[in-house]
Structure 1
Amino acid sequence: MKILYICTHNRCRSILSEAITNHFASDHIQAKSAGSQPAGEVHPLSLRYLNEAGISTEGLQSQSWDDFEYFKPDVVITVCDSAAGEACPVWFGQSIKMHWGLADPSKLEGTEEEIAAAFRECIKEIKHRVSHLQGIAEQALSQSQLKHALSELIN
């Protein structure tokens, strides 16, 4: 199964989701991430806390969803509320779309400990969701079965 994670700026939550998915579920899922208005760089704390969790950051970059027309994702997952409301490119038409609202730890203002806790919590939540996605991907479902299984996942 191919998944494209979308967040407007593609610098934190979508990057975390891509890295975590490829780390824990690469036997059944190929993940990429992109944004409608990419920042052009990955948030440094995203890299820091992925490394802390033992998850590779090699190859991670902030990029436009226009760069992924060739990828032909089975599933497009928006991870920020603003991306969920954006008009997606026409080539997403065949993909199953779903929304995983995740709090943005890169926007938190607070102590270093509070920010670290927010990143760790976001990583924990993504790992939890990816474990469910992996179980679905292992079943090699038809598109209609996949759509139903994914709808059950978020309900």
Structure 2
Amino acid sequence: MTNRIYNVLFLCTGNSARSILAESVLTKDGSGRFRAFSAGSQPKGVVNAFALKVLRSFDYPAEGFRSKSWEEFARPDAPVMDFVFTVCDNAAGESCPVWPGQPMTAHWGIEDPAAVEGPDIQKEAAFVAAFRYLKNRISVFAALPIASLDRMTLGSKLVEIGQLQGATKPRPSAA
């Protein structure tokens, strides 16, 4: 068994909701085996208040998060990522930076809870659903025997995780 800590980056366009939820869940549920990060291609600059409310309601870390650009993680002084997961379809279709270290990547898209219109109770319910979908994916991921899987098998498992309940389909890139 390895004591290696894996760096994981969750990407979304705005880095205000889904990627923040995922970062918090892996931080708590990763059993010290993972260091979680999040970023966006076009960060909103502020974390969605419903994301923080839902994290607190389930007793997950909700402090210290900030909406930031994925460019921070493409710089030479950035932590080298082992895994990069897109959690929104827009980010999956965009041209990502070149990540140092050639991390494993997969798309784990779910619907955007921040796009829900209506009363606050509907918005909060959408964030709870997103939290649960992400928590489920992250639980399966964290249980993988990463060190004992070859790269192809691990890649297949990561794709399967992205197809669990609540999955969306990425939009094709505009190339």
Residue 21 of structure 1: CA displacement?
Answer: 1.0
> 1:72 maps to which residue?
80
> 1:30 maps to which residue?
35
> 2:172 maps to which residue?
none
Between the two proteins, the alignment pairs up a number of residues equal to: 154
1:47-95: CA deviation from partner (whole Å, max 9, x where unpaired): 1111111111122110111111322111111111110000011225711
> 1:135 maps to which residue?
143
1:71-122: CA deviation from partner (whole Å, max 9, x where unpaired): 2111111111110000011225711111111111111012222212111111
Residue 152 of structure 1: CA displacement?
Answer: 3.7
* Structure 1 runs (4+) greater than 6 angstroms displaced: none
Quick one: distance in 2 between partners of 1:154 and 1:126?
Answer: 10
Task: Choose which of 102, 105, 113 in structure 1 pairs with 2:113.
Answer: 105
Residue 33 of structure 1: CA displacement?
Answer: 0.2
Identity %: 39
Q: Is the 8 A contact 1:76 1:92 kept in 2?
A: no
C-alpha root-mean-square deviation of aligned residues, in Å? 1.7
> 1:57 maps to which residue?
62
> 2:130 maps to which residue?
122
Q: Which has more helix, going by share of residues?
A: 1
Q: TM-score, normalised by structure 1?
A: 0.90
Unaligned runs of 5+ in 1: none
User: In structure 2, the residue corresponding to 1:59 is in which secondary structure?
Assistant: coil
Unaligned runs of 5+ in 2: 1-5, 164-175
